[in-house]
Structure 1
Amino acid sequence: MQTMLRAVITVLLLIPGACAVAQQNIQFSQYVFNGLTVNPAYAGYKEDLYLNATYRHQWAGFPGAPRTGSVSLDGVTPGSDGRVGLGGQVLFDRLGPQEAVSFYGSYSYRIPLDAENTRRLCIGIGGGVSQYSIDGAALQYVDNNDEAIPTGKTSTWVPDARFGIYYYTSRFYAGVAVMDLFSLYTDASRYNWKGNNYSTIRKTQHMYLTAGTVFPLGEHLKLKPSFLMKEDFKGPTALDLNAFLLIGEKLWVGGSYRTNVNIWKKTALQRDLQEENAASAMVDFFATEQLRIGYSYDLNVNKMAGYQSGSHEISLGFLLRSKKYSVQSPRYF
């Protein structure tokens, strides 16, 4: 069974000249605790320097399963009165013989909307570069002389740009971002190997729409519902529905349900596609005022569930507080 599944993955990755060149962006379940993953305008939201690291092992037990990592740092610039946020990210993603390493920088201009500094409208841009690779040594094949398969690792560098808008108050947030803007202007010639087209590894443009709120249920209990809609304009629209409880300002406990929705008609989309549903359980604990430790477990709830044992994700967040620029009000998003 494992050999058959590995062969299926290989075929899907190496079909020359495939019509569908879309590839979903890196997916983290714990983006709800680090919005920089889905919106460059989030940079500087916590105002103090915030260091975050995440590692995800998706579809454990599945041959060639995705393994993803991210390290980010963001904060406001001194002397800008909290108006300018800067951020940086390094991301790594591996799926079978396919790899991507990305470097991004983000700039956010944060416009205050009240004297108390509880509401801001943030406009962000981001830029970076990604290296996409195919490792021929990781492939299993029948014909040793197949020229379509690289003898080692072949790679290409591709530039990228992002744009986002983020609005927040002490109890509500909403944001929209468009990622992979340069995918509109990079043709498939970058992904050729000896005349064979590997454009299936190329990412396509994505749009993220997010919103959420927090309201009290008691003296030491708060509820935080939120959603994220992800659209790549070619495949099914993905929707995450999230709900978390904050207990004593120390412990977040909750979960997420991910599914596909049909918002508008896509003429090139197959009509018989199976719905891709997944559920996540998450816990995030503030070990100290500065250190956050998170874990999530995802499980597919469709036919794929029988071939893998779920996805595991861990994250660490560390707030580097500054006496001069430290945030006085709590940050729930």
Structure 2
Amino acid sequence: MRSAALLIIVCNFAVALHAQQRPQYTQYLFNNFLINPAVAGIERYVDVKLGGRSQWHGVEGAPQTAYLSTHFPVNGRHIQDGALSFAEGGYNPYSRGFSHRYRASAPHHGVGITVQHDRAAQFVRTDALFAYAYHLRVAETVNLSVGANAGFSQVRLDMAGIDNPSDPVLANYADSRISPELGLGIWLYGARFFAGASAQQLLGNPLAFSDYAQRMGGHQQFFFMAGYKLHLGSEMALVPSVLFKQMARMPFVGDYNLKLAFRDRLWVGGGYRSHESFSAMAGFNISALFNVSYSYDFSTGPVRTLAHGSHEVVLGFLLNNRYKVYCPQVMF
């Protein structure tokens, strides 16, 4: 029975890989840079994130994903003066006073790097991308940024873990394939809102292994996300947000999330991914150097009869944080 279940899941992975579906994350709100390159350099420090996700915990061969991302501003004026010109020690971005005093950042550049490693049964994918963004002030309290990322993706089939590698079905499969990647994004943000759109895998290079998959080609992925900050009292805020994902030949997916932040130290939240799962999440800003967050997905789709939920952990580091902020001032 377990072998039959694993076979079904592996077949589903093969379809997903053929369509080039990138890894999905529940805590996208904590690191929008994974989805949109225009976010690069949005804060006044070097933003480093180390994340891991265990999908469908308890099922052999279920997806396991890890990533490392970093991005930072490169304009000297932006780094020295800061986007908001607040005093050293930071300013609570969930207070009403933050929105009243907020000023858009000066025009500046941002760069970043993302490395992702994803394994689903015997299919292994590694992505390495470099991102660039330019942030422009379009109003006294509003910035618009545009960005792009480029790099490569390697997909390989781990033949060592296959019981019958001489199976005719695998006869035309190569051990690995490397293809170039290209993505674009745009991001509009202020003290109380953000909205952005991005596209990934624009080159449409197939990453499946068979000649049949080559003839079908690859598929682009499109994302739209937005959120708004609602102040509750003087030190708390509620942040509803949405993420819509669309890929050719795949169902439309919507993520609907709600985050409640207490000052600039603690936040809790929940969400729903259409036709797939509910989620609960929480995060804690331990210091001006380090923060951590965790989420758990409760599966609602057919896989719920075979597996437990999904775990996701993200560790964040705020390097060169000269203003000693505990919480991201713009990425909320």
Instruction: Tell whether the structures are fold-level matches, with TM greater than 0.5.
Output: yes
Aligned mates of 2:280, 2:292 — CA distance in 1: 14
Partners of 1:113 and 1:331 lie apart in 2 by 16
- Partner Cα separation in structure 1 for residue 77 and residue 218 of structure 2: 35
- Whole-Å separation in 2 of the counterparts to 1:326 and 1:299: 33
Matched, 1:134 2:157: yes
Paired with 2:258 and 2:71, the residues of 1 have a C-alpha distance of 25
Provide TM-score, normalisation by structure 2. Answer: 0.83
Q: Deviations over 1:244-300 (max 9, x none)?
A: 1001221110111000xxxxxxxxxxxxxxxx3211100010011231100000011
Q: Distance in 2 between matches of 1:157 and 1:20?
A: 14
Q: Give the 3-state SS of the residue equivalent to 2:27 in structure 1.
A: helix
Q: Is 1:204 the equivalent of 2:227?
A: no
Alignment of 1:159-238 (within 5 A): 159-183=180-204, 186=205, 191-192=209-210, 197=212, 204-238=219-253
Aligned position for 2:29: 32
Q: Name the SS for the 1:182 alignment partner.
A: coil
Partner of 2:8: 8
Q: 1 CA distance for matches of 2:272 and 2:327?
A: 33
Partner of 1:306: 305
In structure 2, distance between residues paired with 1:252 and 1:324: 21
Maintained 8 Å contact 1:214/1:332: no
> 1:275-286 maps to which residues of 2 (within 5 A)?
276-286=275-285
| TM-score of the two chains, using structure 1 as the length reference | 0.83
8 Å CA contact retained: 2:192, 2:230? yes
Amino acid at match of 2:154: Q
Amino acid in structure 1 at the alignment position of 2:287:
T
Aligned in 2, Cα 1:326/1:114: closer, same or farther, shift over 3 Å? farther
Distance 1:6 1:283, change over 3 A: same
Residue 287 of structure 1 is matched in structure 2 by 286
Q: Is the 8 A contact 2:44 2:321 kept in 1?
A: no
Deviation at residue 328 of structure 1 after TM alignment: 11
User: Which is worse superposed, 174-183 or 202-211?
Assistant: 202-211
Between the aligned partners of 1:247 and 1:171, the Cα distance in structure 2 is 16
Number of residue-to-residue matches in the alignment? 304
Q: In the alignment, residue 9 of structure 2 is paired with which amino acid?
A: I
Gaps of 5+ in 2: 79-106
Q: Which amino acid aligns with 1:9?
A: I
Pair 1:41–1:241, CA change in 2 (3 A): same
- SS state of the match for residue 170, structure 2? coil
SS in 2 for 1:191: coil
Deviations 1:213-264 (A, max 9, x none): 11111122210100000000321100000001001221110111000xxxxx
Unaligned runs of 5+ in 1: 260-275
State the one-letter code of the partner of 1:8: I
Match of 1:119 in 2: 142
Which letter maps to 2:120?
L
What is aligned with 1:96? 121
SS in structure 2 at match of 1:292: strand
**In the aligned structure 2, how far is the partner of 1:201 from the partner of 1:140?**
28
CA contact (8 A) 1:21 1:200 kept: no
Q: Return the match for 1:58 from 43, 46, 55.
A: 55
Deviations 1:76-105 (A, max 9, x none): 004364510101010000000101011001
Alignment check: 8 A CA contact 2:43 2:331 kept:
no
- Cα pair 2:285 2:326 within 8 Å, conserved: no
8 Å contact from structure 1 (residues 48, 325) kept in 2: no
Task: Provide the rounded CA distance (Å) in 2 between the counterparts of 1:326 and 1:112.
Answer: 22
Q: Taking every aligned residue pair, what percent have the same amino acid on both sides?
A: 30
Letter in 1 for 2:24: Q
- Residue 103 of structure 2 is matched in structure 1 by none
Q: Which one of 69, 73, 76 corresponds to residue 72 of structure 1? A: 69
Residue type of the alignment partner of 2:256: L
Q: CA deviation at 1:139?
A: 2.3
Moved more, 18-27 or 166-175: 18-27
Q: How far is 1:204 from its partner?
A: 2.2
Equivalent residue number for residue 265 of structure 1:
none
Query: What is the CA-CA distance between 1:329 and the residue it aligns to?
Result: 8.5
Asked if the contact 1:136/1:152 (under 8 Å) is kept, the reply is no
The letter for the 1-side match of 2:308 is S
Decide whether the 8 Å contact of 2:36 with 2:198 is kept in 1: yes
